Amino acid sequence: MYDLVVSIVAWNVRDLLRQCLAAIFQSRPNLSVRIVVVDNLSPDDSAAMVRCEFPEVDLIESQQNLGFARANNLVLERYKGEAQHYLLLNPDTVVHPGALDELVMFLDEHPQCGIVGGKLVKPDGTLDWPCKRSFQTPRIFFYRALGLDRMFPRSRRFGRHHLTYLDESSTHEVEGVCGALLMIRAEALRQIGLMDERLFMYGDDLDWCFRAKAAGWKVYYYPKAVVTHYKSASSKKRSSRMIYWWYRATWMVYKKSLAPQYNHVTNGIVFVGMYSMLGVSLFVNLLRSAKALPSRK
Protein backbone atom coordinates (compact mmCIF):
# COMPACT_ATOMS: atom_id res chain seq x y z
CA MET A 1 0.00 0.00 0.00
CA TYR A 2 1.26 3.49 -0.85
CA ASP A 3 1.65 6.19 1.76
CA LEU A 4 0.29 8.65 -0.77
CA VAL A 5 -1.37 8.84 -4.16
CA VAL A 6 -1.01 12.25 -5.83
CA SER A 7 -3.71 13.22 -8.33
CA ILE A 8 -2.88 15.98 -10.83
CA VAL A 9 -5.54 17.07 -13.31
CA ALA A 10 -4.09 18.99 -16.24
CA TRP A 11 -5.43 20.82 -19.26
CA ASN A 12 -3.20 22.73 -21.67
CA VAL A 13 -0.44 23.57 -19.14
CA ARG A 14 2.41 21.44 -20.44
CA ASP A 15 5.29 23.60 -19.19
CA LEU A 16 3.73 24.16 -15.78
CA LEU A 17 2.96 20.45 -15.50
CA ARG A 18 6.57 19.59 -16.33
CA GLN A 19 7.73 21.97 -13.61
CA CYS A 20 5.21 20.52 -11.14
CA LEU A 21 6.27 16.91 -11.70
CA ALA A 22 9.98 17.75 -11.62
CA ALA A 23 9.54 19.53 -8.28
CA ILE A 24 7.83 16.50 -6.72
CA PHE A 25 10.71 14.21 -7.70
CA GLN A 26 13.33 16.78 -6.69
CA SER A 27 11.70 17.16 -3.26
CA ARG A 28 12.49 13.48 -2.65
CA PRO A 29 9.67 12.71 -0.23
CA ASN A 30 10.46 10.04 2.34
CA LEU A 31 7.26 8.25 1.37
CA SER A 32 5.99 5.59 -0.99
CA VAL A 33 4.24 7.81 -3.53
CA ARG A 34 2.26 7.10 -6.67
CA ILE A 35 1.82 10.08 -8.97
CA VAL A 36 -1.10 10.08 -11.38
CA VAL A 37 -1.77 12.67 -14.08
CA VAL A 38 -5.16 12.96 -15.74
CA ASP A 39 -4.82 14.81 -19.03
CA ASN A 40 -8.14 16.41 -19.96
CA LEU A 41 -7.56 16.24 -23.73
CA SER A 42 -4.92 18.97 -23.76
CA PRO A 43 -4.12 20.40 -27.21
CA ASP A 44 -0.50 21.18 -26.24
CA ASP A 45 0.92 17.63 -26.17
CA SER A 46 0.95 17.49 -22.37
CA ALA A 47 0.29 13.76 -22.43
CA ALA A 48 3.20 13.11 -24.80
CA MET A 49 5.48 15.15 -22.53
CA VAL A 50 4.50 13.06 -19.49
CA ARG A 51 5.02 9.78 -21.36
CA CYS A 52 8.42 10.85 -22.64
CA GLU A 53 9.89 12.71 -19.66
CA PHE A 54 8.18 11.07 -16.68
CA PRO A 55 7.64 7.39 -17.53
CA GLU A 56 7.29 6.56 -13.81
CA VAL A 57 4.11 8.66 -13.63
CA ASP A 58 0.77 6.97 -14.27
CA LEU A 59 -1.00 8.77 -17.11
CA ILE A 60 -4.74 8.72 -17.73
CA GLU A 61 -5.65 10.27 -21.08
CA SER A 62 -9.24 11.43 -21.17
CA GLN A 63 -10.98 11.80 -24.51
CA GLN A 64 -12.81 14.89 -23.27
CA ASN A 65 -12.40 17.68 -20.74
CA LEU A 66 -13.95 16.07 -17.68
CA GLY A 67 -13.48 19.01 -15.36
CA PHE A 68 -11.68 18.95 -12.02
CA ALA A 69 -13.97 16.82 -9.85
CA ARG A 70 -14.73 14.07 -12.34
CA ALA A 71 -11.10 13.74 -13.40
CA ASN A 72 -9.92 13.47 -9.80
CA ASN A 73 -12.64 10.92 -9.14
CA LEU A 74 -11.11 8.74 -11.85
CA VAL A 75 -7.93 8.59 -9.81
CA LEU A 76 -9.69 8.13 -6.47
CA GLU A 77 -11.72 5.23 -7.89
CA ARG A 78 -8.85 3.56 -9.73
CA TYR A 79 -6.56 3.64 -6.68
CA LYS A 80 -9.26 2.98 -4.10
CA GLY A 81 -7.81 1.07 -1.15
CA GLU A 82 -4.24 1.41 -2.43
CA ALA A 83 -3.11 4.34 -0.29
CA GLN A 84 -3.41 5.74 3.21
CA HIS A 85 -3.68 9.31 1.94
CA TYR A 86 -4.69 11.03 -1.30
CA LEU A 87 -3.47 14.43 -2.46
CA LEU A 88 -5.14 16.72 -4.99
CA LEU A 89 -2.46 18.92 -6.51
CA ASN A 90 -2.78 21.56 -9.21
CA PRO A 91 -0.38 21.35 -12.18
CA ASP A 92 0.47 25.04 -11.69
CA THR A 93 2.19 24.36 -8.37
CA VAL A 94 5.74 23.72 -7.23
CA VAL A 95 6.12 21.56 -4.14
CA HIS A 96 8.79 22.75 -1.73
CA PRO A 97 11.15 20.17 -0.18
CA GLY A 98 9.49 18.25 2.63
CA ALA A 99 5.97 19.54 1.92
CA LEU A 100 4.44 16.14 1.13
CA ASP A 101 6.12 14.53 4.13
CA GLU A 102 4.81 17.30 6.38
CA LEU A 103 1.20 16.85 5.25
CA VAL A 104 1.29 13.07 5.70
CA MET A 105 2.97 13.46 9.09
CA PHE A 106 0.30 15.95 10.18
CA LEU A 107 -2.52 13.56 9.28
CA ASP A 108 -0.76 10.68 11.01
CA GLU A 109 -0.32 12.75 14.18
CA HIS A 110 -3.88 14.14 14.17
CA PRO A 111 -6.30 11.22 13.75
CA GLN A 112 -9.31 13.53 14.07
CA CYS A 113 -8.21 15.45 10.96
CA GLY A 114 -9.82 14.26 7.74
CA ILE A 115 -8.53 16.95 5.37
CA VAL A 116 -5.46 19.15 5.54
CA GLY A 117 -4.16 21.88 3.27
CA GLY A 118 -0.74 23.48 3.24
CA LYS A 119 0.51 27.02 2.78
CA LEU A 120 0.06 28.13 -0.82
CA VAL A 121 2.23 31.08 -1.75
CA LYS A 122 2.34 33.11 -4.94
CA PRO A 123 5.59 33.40 -6.92
CA ASP A 124 6.38 36.66 -5.07
CA GLY A 125 6.16 34.81 -1.73
CA THR A 126 2.89 36.33 -0.54
CA LEU A 127 0.09 34.10 0.71
CA ASP A 128 -2.48 32.78 -1.74
CA TRP A 129 -5.45 33.55 0.51
CA PRO A 130 -7.89 30.79 -0.55
CA CYS A 131 -5.65 28.16 1.07
CA LYS A 132 -7.57 28.82 4.30
CA ARG A 133 -11.16 30.00 4.38
CA SER A 134 -14.65 29.74 5.79
CA PHE A 135 -17.89 28.69 4.17
CA GLN A 136 -19.66 31.59 2.48
CA THR A 137 -22.64 32.30 4.71
CA PRO A 138 -25.09 35.10 3.81
CA ARG A 139 -23.29 37.43 6.22
CA ILE A 140 -19.85 36.65 4.77
CA PHE A 141 -21.23 37.07 1.25
CA PHE A 142 -22.68 40.45 2.20
CA TYR A 143 -19.35 41.64 3.63
CA ARG A 144 -17.54 40.50 0.48
CA ALA A 145 -20.08 42.17 -1.81
CA LEU A 146 -19.45 45.48 -0.02
CA GLY A 147 -15.69 44.97 -0.11
CA LEU A 148 -15.43 45.07 3.68
CA ASP A 149 -13.17 42.00 3.67
CA ARG A 150 -10.60 43.92 1.61
CA MET A 151 -11.01 47.14 3.63
CA PHE A 152 -10.63 45.43 7.00
CA PRO A 153 -8.63 42.22 6.43
CA ARG A 154 -7.58 41.96 10.10
CA SER A 155 -11.14 42.14 11.38
CA ARG A 156 -12.52 38.89 12.79
CA ARG A 157 -15.93 39.90 11.50
CA PHE A 158 -15.17 41.21 8.03
CA GLY A 159 -12.11 39.04 7.24
CA ARG A 160 -13.89 35.79 7.89
CA HIS A 161 -14.01 34.40 4.34
CA HIS A 162 -10.27 34.00 3.76
CA LEU A 163 -9.48 34.18 7.49
CA THR A 164 -7.15 37.08 6.81
CA TYR A 165 -6.96 37.90 10.51
CA LEU A 166 -5.23 34.59 11.33
CA ASP A 167 -1.45 34.23 11.52
CA GLU A 168 -0.49 32.57 8.24
CA SER A 169 2.55 30.99 9.89
CA SER A 170 0.50 29.12 12.51
CA THR A 171 -1.59 25.96 12.27
CA HIS A 172 -5.34 26.54 12.42
CA GLU A 173 -8.50 24.49 12.29
CA VAL A 174 -10.50 25.99 9.41
CA GLU A 175 -13.68 25.29 7.50
CA GLY A 176 -12.13 24.88 4.07
CA VAL A 177 -8.85 24.56 2.20
CA CYS A 178 -8.01 24.94 -1.49
CA GLY A 179 -8.23 22.04 -3.95
CA ALA A 180 -4.92 23.15 -5.46
CA LEU A 181 -3.30 21.47 -2.44
CA LEU A 182 -5.69 19.24 -0.50
CA MET A 183 -4.81 15.99 1.26
CA ILE A 184 -7.51 13.63 2.52
CA ARG A 185 -7.04 10.50 4.60
CA ALA A 186 -8.37 7.27 3.11
CA GLU A 187 -10.76 6.67 6.01
CA ALA A 188 -12.40 10.07 5.54
CA LEU A 189 -12.65 9.48 1.79
CA ARG A 190 -14.40 6.16 2.35
CA GLN A 191 -16.88 7.85 4.65
CA ILE A 192 -17.78 10.98 2.68
CA GLY A 193 -17.38 9.60 -0.85
CA LEU A 194 -16.04 11.08 -4.05
CA MET A 195 -16.16 14.69 -5.21
CA ASP A 196 -19.43 16.11 -6.53
CA GLU A 197 -19.11 15.89 -10.32
CA ARG A 198 -21.87 18.44 -10.88
CA LEU A 199 -19.24 21.01 -9.90
CA PHE A 200 -17.31 21.13 -13.16
CA MET A 201 -14.97 23.90 -12.03
CA TYR A 202 -14.58 25.42 -8.56
CA GLY A 203 -16.48 24.74 -5.33
CA ASP A 204 -15.74 21.02 -5.25
CA ASP A 205 -13.05 21.50 -2.60
CA LEU A 206 -15.32 23.46 -0.25
CA ASP A 207 -18.11 20.96 -0.80
CA TRP A 208 -15.75 18.14 0.17
CA CYS A 209 -14.62 20.03 3.28
CA PHE A 210 -18.23 20.70 4.28
CA ARG A 211 -19.08 17.03 3.94
CA ALA A 212 -16.02 16.01 5.94
CA LYS A 213 -16.90 18.36 8.79
CA ALA A 214 -20.52 17.23 8.71
CA ALA A 215 -19.25 13.66 9.14
CA GLY A 216 -17.28 14.65 12.23
CA TRP A 217 -13.82 15.20 10.73
CA LYS A 218 -11.70 18.30 11.26
CA VAL A 219 -10.11 20.38 8.51
CA TYR A 220 -6.75 22.07 9.09
CA TYR A 221 -4.47 24.63 7.52
CA TYR A 222 -0.85 23.54 8.10
CA PRO A 223 1.77 26.13 7.04
CA LYS A 224 4.86 23.92 7.42
CA ALA A 225 3.91 22.35 4.08
CA VAL A 226 4.71 25.10 1.56
CA VAL A 227 3.81 25.01 -2.14
CA THR A 228 4.19 27.81 -4.69
CA HIS A 229 1.04 28.40 -6.72
CA TYR A 230 1.39 29.96 -10.16
CA LYS A 231 -1.89 31.50 -11.22
CA SER A 232 -3.06 34.23 -13.56
CA ALA A 233 -2.67 37.74 -12.26
CA SER A 234 -5.98 39.34 -11.32
CA SER A 235 -5.33 42.16 -13.75
CA LYS A 236 -5.35 39.86 -16.74
CA LYS A 237 -8.51 39.09 -18.63
CA ARG A 238 -10.22 35.95 -17.44
CA SER A 239 -12.43 33.71 -19.49
CA SER A 240 -16.10 34.64 -19.18
CA ARG A 241 -16.77 30.93 -18.88
CA MET A 242 -14.46 30.74 -15.85
CA ILE A 243 -16.22 33.67 -14.19
CA TYR A 244 -19.62 32.09 -14.83
CA TRP A 245 -18.54 28.72 -13.45
CA TRP A 246 -17.10 30.31 -10.31
CA TYR A 247 -20.35 32.05 -9.41
CA ARG A 248 -22.46 29.08 -10.47
CA ALA A 249 -20.37 26.71 -8.34
CA THR A 250 -20.49 29.11 -5.38
CA TRP A 251 -24.28 29.15 -5.58
CA MET A 252 -24.50 25.39 -6.00
CA VAL A 253 -22.33 24.76 -2.93
CA TYR A 254 -24.31 27.31 -0.91
CA LYS A 255 -27.66 25.85 -1.99
CA LYS A 256 -26.53 22.30 -1.22
CA SER A 257 -24.73 22.90 2.06
CA LEU A 258 -25.86 26.11 3.75
CA ALA A 259 -29.24 27.10 2.32
CA PRO A 260 -31.19 24.59 4.49
CA GLN A 261 -30.08 26.60 7.55
CA TYR A 262 -31.76 29.80 6.32
CA ASN A 263 -35.24 30.91 5.30
CA HIS A 264 -36.44 31.44 1.73
CA VAL A 265 -36.13 35.22 1.92
CA THR A 266 -32.48 35.08 2.98
CA ASN A 267 -31.67 32.51 0.34
CA GLY A 268 -33.45 34.58 -2.30
CA ILE A 269 -31.40 37.63 -1.38
CA VAL A 270 -28.19 35.58 -1.62
CA PHE A 271 -29.24 34.25 -5.04
CA VAL A 272 -30.03 37.70 -6.44
CA GLY A 273 -26.89 39.20 -4.93
CA MET A 274 -24.65 36.44 -6.23
CA TYR A 275 -25.92 36.63 -9.81
CA SER A 276 -25.84 40.42 -9.72
CA MET A 277 -22.16 40.18 -8.83
CA LEU A 278 -21.76 37.73 -11.72
CA GLY A 279 -23.15 40.36 -14.07
CA VAL A 280 -20.83 43.03 -12.69
CA SER A 281 -17.81 40.70 -12.95
CA LEU A 282 -18.62 39.86 -16.58
CA PHE A 283 -18.99 43.55 -17.41
CA VAL A 284 -15.69 44.49 -15.74
CA ASN A 285 -13.98 41.61 -17.53
CA LEU A 286 -15.37 42.87 -20.83
CA LEU A 287 -13.89 46.31 -20.14
CA ARG A 288 -10.54 44.72 -19.37
CA SER A 289 -10.73 42.88 -22.67
CA ALA A 290 -11.54 46.06 -24.59
CA LYS A 291 -8.71 47.91 -22.86
CA ALA A 292 -6.27 45.18 -23.78
CA LEU A 293 -7.11 45.34 -27.50
CA PRO A 294 -4.55 47.16 -29.66
CA SER A 295 -5.66 50.47 -31.08
CA ARG A 296 -6.53 50.60 -34.77
CA LYS A 297 -4.83 53.35 -36.72
245 and 176, same structural domain?
no
Overall domain count for the chain: 2
Residue 111 CB coordination number (10 Å): 11
247 and 191, same structural domain?
no
For residue 90, give the nearest of 241, 236, 230 by alpha carbon: 230
Residue 230 near residue 123 (C-beta atoms within 8 A): yes
255 and 187, same structural domain?
no
How many H helices and E strands in the chain?
Answer: 10, 9
204 and 89, same structural domain?
yes
194 and 70, same structural domain?
yes
The residue length of the chain stands at 297
Residue 142 lies in a domain: no
Which residues are 219's β-sheet partners? 115, 174
57 and 196, same structural domain?
yes
pLDDT at 240: 83
247 and 224, same structural domain?
no
Task: From 229, 262, 278, give the residue that closes a domain.
Answer: 229
Which residues are 114's β-sheet partners? none
Three-class SS state of 236: coil
Amino acid letter, 157? R
Q: What is the pTM of this model?
A: 0.91
pLDDT at 130: 93
Residue 269 lies in a domain: yes
pLDDT at 289: 58
Residue 250 lies in a domain: yes
Range of the domain at 181: 2-132+168-229
56 and 17, same structural domain?
yes
Residue 9 lies in a domain: yes
pLDDT at 19: 96
Task: From 208, 229, 250, give the residue that closes a domain.
Answer: 229
83 and 58, same structural domain?
yes
Residue 150 lies in a domain: no
Residue 70 lies in a domain: yes
For residue 194, give the nearest of 28, 276, 80 by alpha carbon: 80
204 and 100, same structural domain?
yes
Residue 153 lies in a domain: no
pLDDT at 266: 95
Residue 152 lies in a domain: no
283 and 186, same structural domain?
no
pLDDT by residue for the chain (297 residues), tens only, comes to 999 999 999 999 999 999 999 999 999 889 999 999 999 999 999 999 999 999 999 999 999 999 999 999 999 999 999 999 999 999 999 999 999 999 999 999 999 999 999 999 999 999 999 999 999 999 999 999 899 999 999 999 999 999 999 999 999 999 999 999 999 999 999 999 999 999 988 999 999 999 999 999 999 999 999 999 997 533 344 678 888 989 999 999 999 999 999 999 999 999 999 999 999 888 888 887 554 433 333
287 and 178, same structural domain?
no
CATH assignment of the domain containing 124: 3.90.550.10
